[in-house]
Amino acid sequence: MFHTILIANRGEIALRIIRACREMGIRSVIVYSDADRDSLPVRLADESICIGPGPSSKSYLHVPNILSAAMLSHAEAIHPGYGFLSENMSFSEICADMGIAFIGPPAHAMAIMGDKVSARAAMKQAGLPMLPGTPVVRTLSAGLEAMKEIGFPLMLKAVAGGGGRGIRLVQRPEDFERTFLLAQNEAREAFRDDGIYFERYLARARHIEIQILVDHFGHGVHLGERNCSCQRRNQKVLEEAPSPLLSPELRNEIGTKAVKAVQAVGYRNAGTLEFLVDEQNRYYFMEMNTRLQVEHPVTEQVTHLDLVKEQIRIAAGLPLQLQQQDIQFHGHVIECRITAEDAEADFRPQTGTVTQYIPPGGPGVRVDSYLYTGYEVPPHYDSLLAKLIVWGDTREEAIAKAKRALNEFIIEGLPTTIPFLQRLLAHPGFVAGETYTRFIQEEAIALGLEKIARAV
């Protein structure tokens, strides 16, 4: 087992990894930017090293500074968390060359599964069903040709995308050119890669993802599904497990196929395969996230497993101690992402000082956050402030617990999405379990999102 792990991330996920390390008797080292000097992870890690100014390009994405910190602290492994360098194949390769364990998949598997087009090809060969799609498109003329093949409506997706960016829905041919150029510009700005691919749009689809673990001996298991259908601008706002409309038989079928598919490409460590499921429960592979997900606590609470510890054990070369029959699912879990955003202003990001912070508690309530009273939320990073995760024996109990916990949650000093999440949990469609990927857009008026409703 590792003696020292360097955490190349910030915020709640950095704190989550620090806590797992401490429970495992592993020394934790956190790298931080000037903007995060007073953050809770910096206070709680065993060692902290400043790697640059606030902008992520000069700190959390600055590979030489991170590797220098790893060498100075004698770290044997680096945990990248999610975002930043977590799906950077070059960073993974450099770590391997330096003899530092990268807590994630090997570079060759990341190369296949981290690129959405190559992932689709590999998973199709491994037997997973797909929606009709195209190769990478980089010019408008090629896009116009590909458009004729797929038909309408269709989705444009950035090849190197993540976090909902570089994704656009095109309903009509006359909207294609403008939308293509918008998606390409967004992809170029966000990922320095303007590659786009097209995929047939599936109306009223549910977004279902399967969590898998595979060790270095090729043994793998799936940990069930998460329903991530509540989204705005293709970004998740609420996740739950199990999915209200997925049968145990279908869960096992998708999960078993997902494990076999990633084993076929030599995947190792934790990962998530994302699927679209239609109203007839036909499922289609969409993409894979080759890292820990923001919503991993949903799976942790429903399986009673610690995914971060499992990641660390796998990276250290230890075999999984789990067989598929050992995985049991307990009750129902809901995670609400609380962000520094003004939902009524089209979820515009906010910054400011937290003048009061009081998280909820009680049985079955977990809060993953890095906030404290007096903390100044910086402008450089993602707007996620906290994750509220609740567990109940039934979905009805979990919804009631989430409502109660949100009502107790106090974050003052800047707008948050707590009021919006309270309305979402009370919506009859959500209560009935009838959500789909465009649910929030189409129910915008009922959810108090007038600006989004006008755009729709």
**Could you please report the per-residue DSSP string of 347-383?**
SEE--EE-SEEE---STTEEEEE---TTPEEPSSS--
The pair of three-digit structure tokens given for residue 98, joined into one six-digit string: 């330096």
> Taking the chain (456 residues) in consecutive chunks of 10 residues, what is each chunk's mean pLDDT?
98 98 98 97 98 97 98 98 95 96 96 90 96 90 89 89 81 92 89 89 94 98 98 94 95 97 97 96 96 98 98 98 96 98 94 97 98 96 97 98 98 98 98 96 93 69
Among 151, 183, 200, give the residue marking a domain's end: 200
Q: How far apart are CA 390 and CA 190, in angstroms?
A: 33
CB atoms within 10 A of CB 192: 8
Estimate the crossing angle of helix 63-72 against helix 89-97, to 10 degrees. 30
Query: Tokens 């992870």 appear where?
Result: 41
Residues 443 and 360 in one domain: yes
Decide if 302 is inside a domain.
Answer: yes
Beta strands per DSSP E along 18-153: 27-33, 47-52, 77-79, 101-102
Catalytic residue among 27, 200, 291, 337: 291
The answer to whether residue 186 sits within a structural domain is yes
Residues 148 and 267 in one domain: no
Rounded Cα distance, 381 and 401, in Å: 30
Tell whether 51 is covered by a domain: yes
Identify whether residues 250 and 355 lie together within a single domain.
Answer: yes
Q: Residue 400, Cα to own-chain centre: how many angstroms? A: 25
Catalytic (active site) residue 204: no
**Quick one: CA dihedral 79, 82, 85, 88, positive or negative?**
positive
User: Does the bond joining 153 to the residue before it have cis omega, within 30 degrees of 0?
Assistant: yes
**pLDDT (0 to 100) of residue 102:** 98
Cα–Cα distance between 379 and 331 in angstroms, integer? 38
Q: What is the CATH number of the domain that holds 299?
A: 3.30.470.20
- List the beta bridge partners of residue 230: 238
Q: What tokens were used for 172?
A: 């009509």
Q: What is the per-residue pLDDT for 455? A: 65
Domain count within the chain: 3
Rounded CA separation 339/12 (Å): 12
- CA 309 to the chain's CA centroid: 18
Residues 75 and 162 in one domain: no
Last residue in a domain, options 83, 103, 123: 103
Domain hosting 327: range is 206-455
pLDDT value for 115: 85
The alpha carbon dihedral of 429, 433, 434, 440 has a sign of: positive
pTM: 0.93
Output the pLDDT for position 269. Answer: 98
3-state helix, strand, coil split of the chain in percent (to 5) is 35, 25, 35
* Whether residues 189 and 210 fall in one domain: no
